[in-house]
Structure 1
Amino acid sequence: MSPELIVSTVAISLALLFYTWGVFGERRHGSLNLKYVLLFWAGLACDTTGTLIMSNIASQSNATGFGIHGLTGALAIVLMIVHALWATFTYLRGSQQARRRFHTFSTVVWLLWLVPYIIGMLVGIPAIHLKAVCAIGTAIVVVGLLAVYLFARDRNDDRPRPRGHGHGPAASR
């Protein structure tokens, strides 16, 4: 494995760590705060760094065209930029309600970001090395299942519970 590939893989893995920590920390905390905004920016910086290095590696190889991985990866970076900017704006100028509800947007962007991450992992890891079509289908299924789970869980957490039972907003009253 080339040093460039190692650095890019570490950078994108750190992006996954920072972004996941930010999104799920914010969800658990129940409100957007500065720590999560900074984690979103750190995830974006790591993902952009890793993606640029991997793009450089691909341009030096026999890779042809931009491909679905490149397209979804570029879209994911654009979404992460919008997300980080919106998080910053919401943190600085948003209402308390906007800060509490920001996690829905964060979750959607995180799920969409996972698609190219999973595609790259399935296509790029030699032991797995799926063809692009299989990798795309697998990524969409995995992300779809995660979305159903997370949003069903959100819906269940919003239901009123008797005092002192369960978890979520109603349990802490």
Structure 2
Amino acid sequence: MSPMLMFASLAITGALVLYTIGVFKERADGSLRGSHVILFWIGLACDTTGTTLMSIMARTSAEAAPAIHGITGLAAILLMLFHAGWATLVYFQGKRGGAAALKRERTFHRLSAAVWVAWLVPYVIGMLVGIPMIKLGTVPAVIASLVVAAIAATLVFRPAKLS
């Protein structure tokens, strides 16, 4: 594995870890905190760095990455950018308080989980297509990534149990 590929893989996996911690910590805390916002921005930076490096390597490689991976990856970065920006806005508006800020924060919790689930699709596609031991074709990788995202969405968006 080349050093650039290793760094890109670590950066993208770092994005997964940071984003997962940020989203689920935010859900567990029940409110959006500055630490969550910071995790979202650092996760975005890691994902953007890793994706940029992967794109550079793909341009110089004889093996082209599936187009769907590039499209879903770009969509995920744009969603993460929107999410981190919205998190920043909601966080600073929430400091002022009020009913509207509280409603925005509740809506943000659902958005946050949806962006995380959507981000899983290109991550899983890249993993399944890019890891030599797995090396699935494009169609099976896309189907598998959608199954993973559907399972994650079912778990994340299930109704809370009443005690």
TM-score with structure 1 setting the length: 0.86
Partners of 2:43 and 2:85 lie apart in 1 by: 13
1:86 aligns with 2:86: yes
1:27 aligns with 2:33: no
Cα shift readout 1:4-53 (whole Å, capped 9, x = no counterpart): 00000010010001000000000000010100000000100000000000
> Highest CA radius of gyration, 1 or 2?
1
- Contact kept in structure 2, 1:31 and 1:102, CA below 8 Å: no
Give the partner amino acid of 1:14.
G
Q: How far apart are residue 97 of structure 1 and its match?
A: 3.3
Q: How far apart are residue 66 of structure 1 and its match?
A: 6.4
1:150 aligns with 2:156: yes
Q: Secondary structure at the match of 2:22?
A: helix
Ranges of 4+ aligned residues in structure 1 off by more than 6 Å:
none
Q: How far apart are residue 146 of structure 1 and its match?
A: 1.3
What is the aligned partner in structure 1 of residue 68 from structure 2? 68
- Structure 1: runs of 5 or more not aligned: 167-173
- Contact kept in structure 1, 2:58 and 2:65, CA below 8 Å: no
Q: Which of 114, 135, 141 is matched with 1:135 structurally? A: 141
Give the partner amino acid of 1:114.
L
Cα shift readout 1:47-78 (whole Å, capped 9, x = no counterpart): 00000000000000124476000000000000
TM-score with structure 2 setting the length: 0.92
Query: Closer, same or farther in 2 for the Cα pair 1:128/1:64, shift >3 Å?
Result: closer
Say what the alpha-carbon RMSD is for the aligned residues: 1.4
Give the partner amino acid of 2:14.
L
Partners of 2:22 and 2:128 lie apart in 1 by: 24
- Contact kept in structure 2, 1:31 and 1:101, CA below 8 Å: no
Partners of 1:66 and 1:130 lie apart in 2 by: 11
Q: How far apart are residue 81 of structure 1 and its match?
A: 0.3
Partners of 1:3 and 1:36 lie apart in 2 by: 30
Give the partner amino acid of 1:4.
M
What is the aligned partner in structure 1 of residue 113 from structure 2? 107
Partners of 2:30 and 2:65 lie apart in 1 by: 42
- Structure 2: runs of 5 or more not aligned: 95-100
What is the aligned partner in structure 1 of residue 54 from structure 2? 54
Query: Closer, same or farther in 2 for the Cα pair 1:145/1:39, shift >3 Å?
Result: same
How many residues are treated as equivalent by the alignment? 157
What is the aligned partner in structure 1 of residue 98 from structure 2? none
What is the aligned partner in structure 1 of residue 122 from structure 2? 116
Q: Secondary structure at the match of 1:32?
A: coil
Q: How far apart are residue 134 of structure 1 and its match?
A: 0.1
Q: How far apart are residue 142 of structure 1 and its match?
A: 1.0
